[in-house]
Chain A
Amino acid sequence: MTVGERKAIRLAMLEIKDLHVAVDGKEILKGLTLSIAAGQVHAIMGPNGSGKSTLSYVLAGRAGYDITSGSIAYNGEDLAALKPEERAAKGVFLAMQYPVEIPGVTTLTFLKTALNAQRRARGEKEVDAMTVLKTVRKRAAALKVSEEMLKRALNVGFSGGEKKRLEILQMSLFEPKLAILDETDSGLDIDALKLVAEGVNTLRSPERAMLVITHYQRLLDYIVPDRIHVLAKGRIVAEGGKELAHELEAKGYEHIVGKAA
């Protein structure tokens, strides 16, 4: 076996098998299977109500999303057995569609607390406020996150674009192994979208896998995926390369979803 072959058969970082998920007793994901290797960027596209956000929440460990059957392996470990904070410490990051506003907690304090909580959980040394500030500043500039934003309460009074940029700033600070981006393009104008996409592209690396969830092809013009999966009614109904996004854009979801049915 050559080195090249060994690489080709390495274990996927994320291995979802026949996943069924119910919310309030209603089945939303109905047998989803997906596999992403380190270094790859996969996109999930799908119409509203297809189960995109459910997938992102179940990966991050939100309460109320019940796995009724199937499995999620993350680096060979059962992801479902881990608490949300344990997943984060092990390198799972979800950039949320609707980042939460938390009055009374300044953004910088939050970043420091979260970073150190993750480091502590991994048995790494905590970093002091000054080091966090320096690290954050360096990364914030590229994402046009101002010093003033960092001093404000977390996401309070931030515009839609500012919230999304802060999500990407966190991703850049926490350096996750698996990043899930849930509709990061929603609510962004084209300039903000380009800025966010640039931030994401900077973070592409052979050690990192990304799952980009979106309704529209537009984002995938800027974050070009290695593979696209089409989600409809809780299942992957079509898969392909980056050109699939344009086919969807031209012909609509009905065309693909209908063909698969």
Chain B
Amino acid sequence: MNAPATWLDERRAEAANRFAALGVPHRRIEDWKYSDLKTAIGDAVNDAVGMWTVGDVENGPPLDVDYSYFDMNASPDNLPEWVRVNLGVLPQNAMSSASFASARACIAIRVPRGKAVAHPVPLRVEGGGTGRVLVVLEEGASLTLQETIKAVGLVNAGVEIVIGANAQLTHIRNAPQTDAVQVEEYSIRVARDGVYRAHLFNGGAKLSRAEFQIALAGANAQAHLSGVSVLGDGAHADVTTHITHAVAHTTSTQLFKHVAGGKSRAVYQGRITVEQGADKSDSRQTAKALLMGVRAEADLKPELEICADDVKCAHGAAVGDLDPNSLFYLRARGIPEAEARNMLVRAFLEEAVNEITDETIRETIWREVEKALPRAMLP
């Protein structure tokens, strides 16, 4: 006789059905037009477990958050209540459904009500494989999550982030250059007065897709996203966001800057949905790309769907080369061409990197930018 299906089995069975219906996305699906995953990996999704860790490798998981690392194929009876309430509940796209259905490793982190975690908590995704991450911030909690990705082969990660009322999460996502295929979906829900901040660095991959599904679900909920992609050779980096202003008085800002050299490809797709009744919502999105050569490509696609009347939505996108007037001005003052180009590219990226308020983290990201720039500056 079969054991009765658990809550987790049920949720995962639904995810398996979703993935079976949708399949591995390919370029004929509008949302994946610039990132043909099927060509990159075929139909293969696996349940291999990568080396995913939270906290210090030496010192183990941080003591100042609740932490659970478990095998999703094992009995979920011992899992804490907050995992049962939240795991696999937020919306999932095709690949996130696949990871939820097939992953074994799941990392779950909770910051309890009212607690402010003083130091950034590292989240490391190393190696290849499929995995799940759940982050729960209860009412009034705050956390900085510093994610670093060193992908090998294929990584498919599904990350759920639940931000409670008046809670604040700052999410750093550092993805240096790799030859892997890395696909991540972040599904995020922000309750009233909650704030989600994300700061991204992309060095590019064979195919890299970071998708953010964000629901601003309570009054005064905010999402602030910024990021830079610094790509050379044949690197690819796709940042796709979908922010839903579900209720009135919600705010979102996005600022993305890309530098693409070689025959690399930088993608930004940003959809904003302002639902009916979400009046006094304020959304701003800016995406800019600098192409360093004729073979590089940038696809920037901001989109607005507005179903409310009284809203402020601003968006802009621009692709270009370094401004020849600026370049001449600097050279005419004695600054050699290569140095002048460097100054202008750094100045271009700086606005987005400076969104990171923590000085130590900002410097870490600048070092990644510096490492990636020489390749990205080549035509």
Contacts and interface: CB of A to CB of B under 8 A. Distances in A.
Interface stretch (B123-131, B170-178, B345-353, B358-366): B345-353
B324 A85 contact: no
B276 interface: no
Interface in A109-128: 110, 113-115, 117-118, 121
Contacts, number: 73
B230 to A, nearest CB: 15
Q: Which of B333, B343, B347, B348 has the most CB of A within 10 A?
A: B333
A114 B340 CA distance: 10
A105 B339 CA distance: 13
Contact of B344 (A88, A102, A114): A102
A170 interface: yes
| Dominant SS among interface residues on chain B | helix
B89 interface: no
Interface string A144-179: 000000000000000000000000001000100000
B334 interface: yes
A70 interface: no
B332 A113 contact: no
B350 to A, nearest CB: 5
Nearest to B325: A100
B332 A84 contact: yes
Contact of B336 (A61, A62, A85, A102): A85
B332 to A, nearest CB: 5
Interface string B234-249: 0000000000000000
B52 to A, nearest CB: 36
Given A85-B334, A104-B347, A174-B333, A62 B328 contact: yes
Contacts of A60: 328, 332
A83 interface: yes
B373 to A, nearest CB: 14
A62 to B, nearest CB: 5
A104 B329 contact: no
Interface of B: 323-326, 328-337, 339-340, 343-344, 346-348, 350-351
Given A83-B331, A87-B332, 14 more contacts: A61-B332, A63-B324, A85-B331, A85-B336, A88-B333, A94-B332, A96-B329, A100-B325, A102-B326, A103-B351, A113-B339, A117-B334, A170-B333, A174-B334
Interface of A: 60-63, 83-85, 87-89, 94, 96, 99-100, 102-105, 110, 113-115, 117-118, 121, 170, 174
